Structure 1
Amino acid sequence: MVIMAGTVMLAYYFEYTDTFTVNVQGFFCHDSAYRKPYPGPEDSSAVPPVLLYSLAAGVPVLVIIVGETAVFCLQLATRDFENQEKTILTGDCCYINPLVRRTVRFLGIYTFGLFATDIFVNAGQVVTGNLAPHFLALCKPNYTALGCQQYTQFISGEEACTGNPDLIMRARKTFPSKEAALSVYAAMYLTMYITNTIKAKGTRLAKPVLCLGLMCLAFLTGLNRVAEYRNHWSDVIAGFLVGISIAVFLVVCVVNNFKGRQAENEHIHMDNLAQMPMISIPRVESPLEKNHITAFAEVT
């Protein structure tokens, strides 16, 4: 809980305060990479932030709750309830319901990863200060006063811009793309959850279709950012890498591919048995065997 609270607070400071100063990156006069037209505020985008954040927060919660409920009901119907993972509280009779335990665990890890992705993205944007494709349309530099006689002249400093300071500051925070990172993180986490959890018959084709559909939506989100001149290709690709890396790390290393605690304990127990050294037990000679050998010697 302490780590989760610290993560939320750090994400809040990155998102809503000026605690971390954005790096001011310069530009060349009339640089074609930053001369794209201003596409308008984020709310006018084909994938507005409200829609993206709602889907990234709501769809995984719904899918995980429905999936865990279905798995629990199936195990209950097959009378496999007693073999599920338990958390002992008082004695051997009290335990947390496996449905509640797994649901809270997987949703908690997903929420932590969502905030971690936001922190990684904001940190990258603050450190790099990479300019948006429409930066010059918002900066509105006075080329005459700056003495831009040649295209190779480099301009640096905040005083070079005469536009809206808030819009200019947002145009300096594009690498990596937050929308691409959050969308692909949610899609990858759900894809790995569906692949590792749903084992019912008849889902051999349904699972790949659903998973590829989720990844396609994330890819289209990044493609839309480039098409609307809100991000460069490098911003979107970097966002994809951040989101995929965090999702894969959490699923593989933290929740162990969505396996239960019982499976984890069995795996650890088998590893301990495999690493246990062999013990040689001394041989004890039996009195009957000794008498038999003596009698055989007398006969011969």
Structure 2
Amino acid sequence: MKGCMREATVPYFCNAQLIVDVVIWLTIGSPVLYLYLMGSPYEAGFFCDDTSLKYPDKPSMISDALLTGVAFGLTTTALLMVEVMNRLERKYKKSRCLSGDPFICLKGFGIFLFGFVITQLFTEVLKNTLGRLRPTFIDVCRPDFSRINCSQGYITNYTCTNKENLTNKLRTIHQSFPSGHAAFAMFTTMYLVLYIQKRLHITYSHILKPTVQAALFLLSLVCGITRITDHKHHPSDVVAGLIIGSIVACAIFHSLGTKFLNDTKHEKSSKDDEEDGNWVPNINGCQTPLPLLQNEFDVSGRSPSFVLKQPIKISTSVTV
């Protein structure tokens, strides 16, 4: 049947484009991983009367492992469910051509991985460059105030005396700005919101898409709030992380998502329906099914002697 595209076959993965993209991804990801595990942040100083650095240290409600697992699991589930719902929608409407590429989920997940690395690159570079102290700095470091002259104002020469904390924790107290949790959570949320907006095509509900999108935004905001209530970040750190995640998600989706996530089969089918003559313009300029148009002009069941090719414009004038 004209207009129906054949179902996509398994693509040839070992091509030059994929190899180049993977090499670039690894080239960016390797330094990001190094900065995350062994980065040496700038050791900023502090003021003795700075109360924003005197919060008690406590465990995080959302750990790095939990955030990563939820983000990747939620993204995988969402991408799969969108394509499944699209396929069910097409079968329900009995479309001539089933919409959706079987490998669209892999494309979407690949774009997500690239955006994840870019988000982490921005956050890790800023963390290690600025070296802002976390709200729990005094409790984690426990500087020896007997050797500090607070009258000097900004203190840069100090020694941490807390031997209970591991070296990694003493390193991360200089990595407050921006919030990596907030950036990653907002990137995941914004990417899924844009993906759902572009890829999900359903007619049985008008509020399903905005409801899911609002729920995703709420999850990212809750993640950011917990970083403040857990005393891991200052409010400005979380706001900056949310902004970074949003900007990266929008930029990545605009540059890659709009190109590789197009519903080409659905668009092709709709265009070919018009070319095949199944839809023709009526006298009002709107599209009308041809069988209905035939019934309007020939109630006896005989074939009409003409078919409208162009809209008929009727103009009236009144002469006084």
Q: Tell me which interval the TM-score lies in, with the shorter structure as reference length.
A: 0.7 to 0.9
Deviation of the 1:223 alpha carbon: 0.8
Deviation of the 1:226 alpha carbon: 0.7
Matched, 1:259 2:280: no
CA distance in 2, matches of 1:181, 1:261: 32
Deviation of the 1:264 alpha carbon: 10
CA distance in 1, matches of 2:183, 2:105: 24
Which of 29, 35, 46 is matched with 1:27 structurally?
A: 46
Residue segments in structure 2 that go unaligned for 5+ positions in a row: 1-21, 269-320
Deviation of the 1:199 alpha carbon: 2.1
Matched, 1:10 2:56: no
CA distance in 1, matches of 2:30, 2:147: 43
Percent of aligned positions with the same letter in both sequences? 24
CA distance in 1, matches of 2:205, 2:138: 51
CA distance in 2, matches of 1:178, 1:118: 7
Residue 264 to residue 12, structure 1, CA distance change in 2 (3 Å): farther
Query: What are the Cα deviations for residues 181-214 of structure 1, in whole angstroms up to 9, with x where unaligned?
Result: 1111111111111122222113311111111111
Counterpart in the other structure of 1:134: 136
Matched, 1:153 2:172: no
Q: For residue 255 of structure 1, give the secondary structure of its aligned residue in structure 2.
A: helix
| 8 Å Cα contact 1:118-1:182 kept in structure 2 | yes
- In the superposition, the TM-score normalised over structure 1's length comes to 0.74
| 8 Å Cα contact 1:72-1:99 kept in structure 2 | no
| 8 Å Cα contact 2:144-2:160 kept in structure 1 | yes
Residues 89-128 of structure 1: pairs in structure 2 closer than 5 A? 98-100=101-103, 102-128=104-130
Counterpart in the other structure of 2:61: 46
Q: What amino acid is the match of 2:97? A: D
Deviation of the 1:60 alpha carbon: 0.7
Counterpart in the other structure of 1:58: 73
Which of 22, 47, 68 is matched with 2:83 structurally?
A: 68
Q: For residue 160 of structure 1, give the secondary structure of its aligned residue in structure 2.
A: coil
Which of 247, 250, 255 is matched with 2:249 structurally?
A: 247
CA distance in 1, matches of 2:125, 2:266: 37
Deviation of the 1:124 alpha carbon: 0.8
Residues 81-230 of structure 1: pairs in structure 2 closer than 5 A? 81=98, 98-100=101-103, 102-148=104-150, 150=151, 153-157=153-157, 159-163=158-162, 164=165, 165-230=167-232
- Please provide the CA RMSD for this pair: 2.3
Q: For residue 99 of structure 1, give the secondary structure of its aligned residue in structure 2.
A: coil
| 8 Å Cα contact 2:227-2:233 kept in structure 1 | yes
